[in-house]
Structure 1
């Protein structure tokens, strides 16, 4: 079946309404925004708004669904997405880069709905995508539970929660690191942890050496 083409005028009006909604959400709380506010900002009549959405909630939910659908497709969290990738190479996986690239492409949207207003519907939807991304990555890198320090479900929850908060932090700081750097740093942290060398091991060795150097009375 072929998809029915949408009238370009409809596309343009919805784009104006969505942009107006985001512009308002960047400076005001969701509860403070009215349909009239959105219509005025979009320079369309209130009646025109209702031709496309029944209320502001429907506009927001549809916009979030569309954006997350696009993110999921672009990041591509399919079973085969990690095949033949060399994790020893000093490069981030393309899917990691794509994750940050898509967020950067929709920066105003994510800033308005994750930072200025933390909308639970977006947070849970984004976390669901990150969960798929993280769990697939961990399952591909290490399929055996015997080689994990903690329970697999706990590790996945820990990493996905960190991913979400790091993304929010990155947005809050106006994407102060490049997409590539964020992807590489986060991938490295997820696989190796924060330390190049185990600090407890070297602290223990240092303490042992200091003890051996003490003079005997």
Structure 2
């Protein structure tokens, strides 16, 4: 009986989350009520209050869960590992995992990064990226004199560029697979924009693999 109840509650929670996302495509969070969500999800208000205090609490929980899923994968990135895979002309698997998680929660991210989304939420991801990039670069290359540009500008550039790729992928219809995006990102991070654009010719770049090869 308990297992059946757990499944029912999980189903209700999923319906409410889907309802909130669909309403957020129409108006901002400030204009959404518990009744709006209950009606859209076809549940009663009491069911809503079993899980959340109010609409803001619901959205905060959703944002926190999605953020932690992505953040945990970002924490695993290692620039020296990336260079090894780039030298093999292979996408970096840990970047692939990030894009797979974004794809899994694409509906949520499209709404949160859309016109009725939350700019502060985007900045939260950027700040997390900046922290991890700083930690990685400080560990992998501690000598300031070996850097071509000041560290603070390098970190800001990399975080903004990486987040920009994710946003473009979401906003352009996600035509590429996570593996194809991983190849693109690995090339960009390893070779930089000038070489990636073809203005500076270097070694062959990683080929994006087709969806049929991505299991």
The aligned residue for residue 124 of structure 2 is 125
- How many angstroms apart in 2 are the aligned matches of 1:170 and 1:23? 20
> What are the equivalent positions in structure 2 for 1:1-217 lying under 5 Å apart?
7-77=6-76, 82=81, 85-139=84-138, 142-196=141-195
Q: Which moved more, 1:16-25 or 1:179-188?
A: 179-188
SS at match of 1:87: helix
Compute the displacement of 1:34 (Å).
1.8
Which stretches in structure 1 are left out of the alignment for 5+ residues?
1-5, 203-217
- How many angstroms apart in 2 are the aligned matches of 1:64 and 1:105? 14
Number of matched residues? 197
Assess, with a 3 A threshold, how the Cα gap between structure 1 residues 59 and 50 changes in structure 2: closer, same or farther.
same
**RMSD of aligned alpha carbons:** 3.1
Runs in 1 of length 4+ with deviation above 6 angstroms? 78-81, 197-202
1:142-166 deviation digits (Å, cap 9, x = unpaired): 4432221111122111110111122
Q: Would the aligned equivalents of 2:25 and 2:111 in 1 still touch at CA under 8 Å?
A: yes
TM-score, normalisation: structure 2? 0.77
Q: Would the aligned equivalents of 1:14 and 1:52 in 2 still touch at CA under 8 Å?
A: yes
- How many angstroms apart in 2 are the aligned matches of 1:200 and 1:81? 25
Compute the displacement of 1:71 (Å).
2.1
Assess, with a 3 A threshold, how the Cα gap between structure 1 residues 67 and 157 changes in structure 2: closer, same or farther.
same
Tell which structure's C-alpha radius of gyration is larger.
1
Which stretches in structure 2 are left out of the alignment for 5+ residues?
202-215
SS at match of 2:87: coil
- How many angstroms apart in 2 are the aligned matches of 1:93 and 1:18? 32
Compute the displacement of 1:53 (Å).
1.2
Q: Which moved more, 1:106-115 or 1:178-187?
A: 178-187
- How many angstroms apart in 2 are the aligned matches of 1:20 and 1:198? 42
